[in-house]
Structure 1
Amino acid sequence: MTTAVLGNLPVQEWASSPRTALGPWGAEPPLPAEVTGLRATLRRFATEVMRPIGQELDRLSAAEVADPKSRLFEFHRRYSELGINMEALGRMGAEERGLLFPILFEELGWGDAGLAISIGARILPHYMAAKMGNRFILETYSEDLLGCWAITEPDHGSDSLDPGQVLQHPLGSYGRPGCVARIDDGHVIINGQKAAWVSNGAIGELCILFCAAEGPDGPDPKRGVCVVVPMDATGVTRGKPLEKLGQRALPQGEIFFDNVRVSTDHLLAGPDDFQRAVYAIHADANVLMGAVFTGVARAAYDLALDYAHERKQGGVPIIRHQDVAKRLFHMLRKTELSSALTRRVAMFNTLEPVPALQAAMLAKVTATEHSLEVASEALQIFGGNGLTHEYPIEKIFRDARTSLIEDGCNHVLALKGGAQLIDESRLA
């Protein structure tokens, strides 16, 4: 009887003390050559462009970051030179896009979380226009315009995730929406305010706006609109850029609309399609967040691993201390879990006719919480040095902490995702 040889090599050919080092991306199996090449390009871009610019912007005031002379705009110009645009994505097959999308944002997150989210917001108007089949936006507005995403309001944060009000307390009331659109005679007329958390709000040139629609009985947050608004339209003004704990390279700020009029050509979703549009953008945004903060976790792990080989205490590099090695092991475990889950969800949602929002929320919640845990452990390994501006880990820690709130507070996402698990047919 012949016994097949298992594995890459017969055991007899292994070294007497077997050991295989992981690569720069962990336990990564071989990828298609074009993806490997693009990933290497993105890693160079993250190392040579994103990190220096992100660290410089982190030390500036919010107003200085948003200033047209800041290096934020150099970053966006250099990202444009990579040629990763809607035309390139449109030429790809579904499986290739499902693989590339999380790898792209993992690498951007490894470079700088705030700049990565700025790219995510930048592409949203065109990305959603393509998804919703709006040729007017794609043919009228250049992809070089910086997009911004306006959905939350001063009195409605996580409410915006739940336009069907599935999670609303029985005694609760949504209250009056802060921003309302009326469709009249071929135009969308917008009045009101969006919160200071508009990503790229301080610099955006093209806004994708989600807001309540004016109905026969007044504004109805369940039947809103999704509309693309040029930020130079008459009646659009901005508040001051927001000073915040982390992701300071991502300029955020309020947007005000005073009788702003755009043609209905700019409408991506009307009242009948509004809840579908909210579902669609969050299904993709949550996967994007999962990928970005997988990259953040890997950045924190990489820095801690390097430092643990360099820093000596007790006469030996600290990685020789069992507790440090154990903590690094768990940091890597969480990073690998986040990567595997996010890519699995990205591929599933790309290939399914309708993406699973609950799966996207699994990726976002898992990766962001793991990124904070890994960054916190990394800072602890750096010790006192980790608290100083001389080392990048304190910035990564602040960036990671912000992620548990943005794009949906993780506690609310878990409630919403749990509600998505209910199978009504099994409760009859």
Structure 2
Amino acid sequence: MCSGGTNVQFELTDTQKDIQKAAKEFAEKEFDSDLALELDKEGKFPKSLFEKACRLGFVGIDYPEECGGQSLGLFENVLMTEEFCRKDSGIGISIGLADMASGIILRHGNEKQKQSYLVPVTQGKAINTVAVMDPFDGGNPVPAKAEATPSEYVVTGKKTFVVNGPIANIMVVFCEGYPAPDPKSVRSVALIIDKNQEGVKVLDRRRMMGLWMTSVNEVSFDRVRVPKGHVVGEPDKGAEYVNAFLVEQRIKTAAQALGIAQGAFNQAVKHSREREQFGRKIAQFQGIQFMLAELYTQIEAARSLVYRAAYSYDAKSSDLEKMSSIAKLFAADVAVRTALDSIQIHGGVGLMREYSIERMFRDAKTIQNLVETNLVERALIGRSVIS
């Protein structure tokens, strides 16, 4: 028997229903399938669609009004993300990853930083990102270093798997700061760095299985001078800020996975109603019906978990960290399974680039390992259970 939990209101409010409807209508109207295929093939960010989403208030929906947002919560962001990714996984995820650093600045930044770096995002004039992951050398991570002086930090090193490296205006970079107050401790500091600053170099793109509209790169820093005013929050709490960032990103990734699962399922149902074999629509075969029934059940369960995690986030619940891992783990697994089974139902055409289900599978498998792998999520959940 499971213990505890957040009391979730399952009926959406009128405002939430309006947001869900508006996001669905926007995606249906603007996410053209031919454009999506072209952007995916060419590896281009959907800039014009991002700007339209900003003008309509979708991007930054959970920012405060004074920062250009609508003062809503992550729950509303999840509703929007689900609808975007249901229509097209590549476009939906790309728009969702365009402001990865915003949550960090909102939670820990000062008012000047919020005004300088968040308002332009909501206007479609800026993109931000986060540099967290260190490259490995011989199996050991090699962190970027930030040398503290009385007036600034001097950053040297590399970060890998930086999303939107070539197009981001600024990035929040997590570095190992020194000298640390305690020689035995590791001091992690979060710094806002302009991508065009001297010493910053975006290196070659790392081509992944999916998310082809989103560039992922390694970024190097060669004695980059960062003023103390660009420190986010307190200079020794970077590790704490990373943890909060991961919780938020797990829930957003879970919402993307949920949207992919629903979109792949819808395509499977549509194809089964149209495709004929042996003089019958394949939707009439019990084997297909059993597949669809299982997928439908799994998607509904995933939706409940994702919504609960988003609700827990907005309510600042004590079970938030665990729920974020559960939601991301389950929703990502369901997205991969649903996309794969949808390909099976489509048959040979499901493997063709012209059918978006092929892209949905690649994107689902990629986000299954995005932020953290699902093996890591299982480890985090297991640790929480036994503690």
Please say if residues 208 and 227 of structure 1, whose CA atoms lie closer than 8 Å, have aligned partners that are also in contact.
yes
Secondary structure in 2 aligned to 1:281? helix
Larger mean CA deviation between 409-418 and 227-236 belongs to 409-418
Give the distance between the partners of 1:400 and 1:334, measured in 2 at CA: 15
Superposition deviation, residue 365 in structure 1: 0.8
- Check the 8 A contact 1:349/1:355 in 2, yes or no: no
> CA 1:394–1:220 in structure 2 vs 1: closer, same or farther (change >3 Å)?
farther
Correspondence for 2:290:
326
Amino acid at match of 1:54: A
What TM-score results when the alignment is normalised by the length of structure 1?
A: 0.80
- Corresponding residue SS for 1:188: strand
Corresponding residue for 2:158? 193
Matched AA of 2:99: I
Which whole-Å CA distance do the structure 2 matches of 1:174 and 1:242 have between them? Answer: 19
Give the corresponding residue for 1:59.
Answer: 41
1:226 alignment partner, SS class = strand
Match of 1:233 among 193, 197, 200: 197
1:101 to 2:77 alignment:
yes
SS in 1 for 2:58: coil
- Picking from 207, 210, 213, the partner of 2:174 is 210
Match of 1:182 in 2: 147
Percent of counterpart pairs with the same letter?
23
Does 1:31 pair with 2:7?
Answer: no
Question: Is the contact between residue 177 and residue 212 of structure 1 (CA under 8 Å) also seen in structure 2?
Answer: no
Q: Separation in 2 of the partners of 1:241 and 1:178?
A: 20
1:114 maps to which residue? Answer: 90
Q: Distance in 2 between matches of 1:139 and 1:413?
A: 34
Q: Is residue 53 of structure 2 the alignment partner of residue 79 of structure 1?
A: yes
CA RMSD in angstroms, aligned pairs only? 2.7
Aligned letter for 2:230? H
TM-aligned CA distance change 1:391 to 1:126, over 3 Å: closer
Asked if the contact 1:105/1:116 (under 8 Å) is kept, the reply is: yes
Partner deviation per Cα, 1:175-195 (whole Å, 9 max, x = no partner): 462411122222122111111
Q: CA deviation at 1:260?
A: 1.0
Equivalent position of 1:25 in the other structure: none
Q: 1:88 to 1:293 in 2, by over 3 A?
A: closer
Q: What residue is the counterpart of 1:383 in the other structure?
A: 347
Contact in 2 for aligned 1:118/1:199 (Cα 8 Å): no
Which structure 2 residues correspond to residues 131-280 of structure 1 after superposition, within 5 A?
131-141=107-117, 142-143=120-121, 144-155=125-136, 175=140, 177-195=142-160, 197-215=161-179, 222-280=186-244
- Contact 1:35 / 1:100 at 8 angstroms: preserved in 2? yes
What is the rounded CA distance, in whole Å, between the counterparts of 2:359 and 2:131 in structure 1?
26
User: Normalising by the residue count of structure 2, what TM-score does the alignment of the two structures yield?
Assistant: 0.87
**d(CA) in 2 for partners of 1:210, 1:241:** 20
Does the 8 Å contact 2:163/2:214 carry over to 1?
Answer: yes
For 2:206 and 2:286, how far apart are their aligned partners in 1?
Answer: 43
Q: Give the conservation status (yes or no) of the 8 Å contact 2:201–2:219.
A: yes
Alpha-carbon shift at residue 87 of structure 1 (Å): 7.5
Matched residue SS, 1:207: strand
Contact kept in structure 2, 1:212 and 1:222, CA below 8 Å: yes
* Cα distance, 1:362 vs structure 2: 0.7
1:371 maps onto 2:335 in alignment: yes
Shift of residue 318, structure 1, vs aligned partner = 0.5
Name the structure 2 match of 1:170: none
One-letter identity of the residue aligned with 1:103? L
What is the CA–CA distance in structure 1 between the aligned matches of 2:319 and 2:227, rounded to whole Å? 30
Among 354, 369, 373, which residue is 1:405 paired with? 369
* CA distance in 2: counterparts of 1:415 and 1:244, whole angstroms: 25
* 2:276 equivalent to 1:302: no
Find the aligned partners of 1:289 and 1:365 in 2 and give their Cα distance. 10
* Deviation readout 1:379-409 (Å, 9 max, x if unpaired): 0000111111232111111111111211111
Which AA in structure 2 matches 1:79? A
| Alignment gaps of 5+ in structure 1 | 1-27, 67-71, 157-172, 424-428
Q: Following TM superposition, by how much is the alpha carbon of 1:231 offset from its aligned partner in structure 2, in angstroms?
A: 1.0
Write the distance in 1 (CA, Å) between the matches of 2:347 and 2:183.
53
1: distance between equivalents of 2:74 and 2:47?
29
Partner of 2:4: none
- Paired residue type of 1:343: Y
Deviation at 1:355, TM superposition (A): 6.4
Q: Is the 8 A contact 1:177 1:221 kept in 2?
A: no
Larger Rg: 1
Report the AA paired with residue 36 of structure 2. Answer: G
Q: Which amino acid in structure 1 is aligned with residue 196 of structure 2?
A: D
Structure 2: which 5+ residue stretches go unaligned? 1-8
Match of 1:6 in 2: none
